[in-house]
Amino acid sequence: MVGCSNTAVPETMDCPPTLPGSESLPTLTRDEWVAAQQRDPAIQRIVILKESGKLPTRTKRKTESSEVQRYLNEWQRLSFKSGVLYRSRITGDGNKVHQLVLPRQYRAMVLRGLHDDVGHLGKDRTLDLVRSRFFWPYMARDVETKIKSCERCVRRRMPQGARSVAPLVNIQTSQPMELVCMDYLTLEESKGGISNISGDHRSLHTLCSRNPNPEPDRTDYS
């Protein structure tokens, strides 16, 4: 389980398919993760220091890159599990989890998997999903940058200066068909080519249906 478990690291480390966005996360063997961490300059530096068991003095830390200094701030929380570097974290409910220290080359992939592929959640929820599995310096900043640059999230965001929406109130109905409403939602396209969902809300009943994506207009205007 990648960055999600405090048990021993299995031979093949991946997130089980029940976890949101896991289908888009990297699935590598233990040796491949070790090699990937060694290819990342900042993580490689931390691995060397941790293996030596010597925390650099404050003076020497200032000569390191900003990313290495961030890792050094987590010195007591960093540990190896079968040669792979992890960071320990105590969750709000008191559970201890181990976050995989993620090399830079996989960070964009993880942000796509835990934001785009799970319905474009907000900053806090996306950050929670990332933190439950991975760790890297400036992670919160990267999540915020990802969401601010996400085309779908930008389109959905209310423009500055827009009027406040009317307050939500309960609408009371006394019989079927007294009130009829329609919701229409567009999600990421599924493997079956479905991305449009409509919901027909009637008094005391709700009907949902999948709507196949329309065929593209192939008219040749040349």
Average pLDDT of 150-175? 74
Q: What is the mean pLDDT of residues 116-122?
A: 87
For the segment 41-65, the average pLDDT, to the nearest whole number, is 96
Average pLDDT, the chain: 79
Over residues 30-37, mean pLDDT: 93
Q: How confident is the model at residue 206 (pLDDT cuts 50, 70, 90)?
A: low
Task: Give residue 192's pLDDT.
Answer: 73
Termini Cα distance of the chain: 53
- Per residue in 124-149, is it b (16+ CB within 10 Å) or e — as a string? eebbebbbbbbbbbebeebbeebbee
- Residues 86 and 100 sit within 8 Å (Cβ to Cβ): yes
Average of per-residue pLDDT across 39-53? 97
CATH for 12-155 is 1.10.340.70
More confident residue, 21 or 196: 196
pLDDT of residue 175: 81
For residue 111, what pLDDT is reported?
93
Residue 55 pLDDT: 95
What is the DSSP secondary-structure string of 121-153? Answer: --HHHHHHHHHTTEE-TTHHHHHHHHHHT-HHH
Is 186 or 71 the better-scoring residue by pLDDT?
71
| Domain ranges in the chain with CATH number 1.10.340.70 | 12-155
